[in-house]
Amino acid sequence: MNSFTARKWALVVSLLGLVITLSGGLLTWYASSQTTKQSAIESCIQRIDRQEQVIRKKAEVLLGSIADFGSKTAAPNVTEEVFHNLGQHVVNSSMRFTAYAPIELTGVAVQLAGTVQIGLMARTPDEKMHALQLATSAMKGWTEQYFTLMGEYEKRRSDCMN
């Protein structure tokens, strides 16, 4: 082989090595990019899952306290002390719920807490009747807003993919 042919082969081999090196680097960059993207998606979904889980747990405590209040205060032998303790638990769980809930649910929870507090402070028959009237609408809209929020979490999870 003459020196010109040898130089051509050396150039071809060098260029082939360069192409292989660049291709390897490009593949490494692409794989790293995809891994980073997948990690970001998973992190986004996990964050939304945690938010939803906290809301569900706080809502469970709130609804449980409402159920206890409604059922246990209807017992024929309920004392004033039991009535107040159950009512305070509703107020407490309502206010704790507001620390985590979006504004739509916060308003309803604060209204519920205020309504129960009015009932707990009622002394006269008129005050008690007024508290009962308020109680019938204290949770108005809560169920719809709660399930709208749960649907919103599903939408946010889908948005993580985009």
CB contact burial 123-142 (16+ within 10 A = b; e otherwise): eeeeeeeebeebbeebbeeb
Q: What is the Cα–Cα distance from 115 to 81, expressed in whole angstroms?
A: 18
pLDDT of residue 100: 92
The mean pLDDT values, 10 residues at a time, for the chain of 162 residues are: 76 80 81 86 95 96 91 85 91 94 90 90 80 79 92 95 86
The pLDDT of residue 1: 59
Give residue limits of the domains in the chain: 45-160
C-alpha distances out from residue 159 to 40, 43, 154, Å: 12, 13, 9
CATH code, residues 45-160: 1.20.120
pLDDT of the residue at 104? 84
Most distant pair of Cα atoms in the chain: their distance? 116
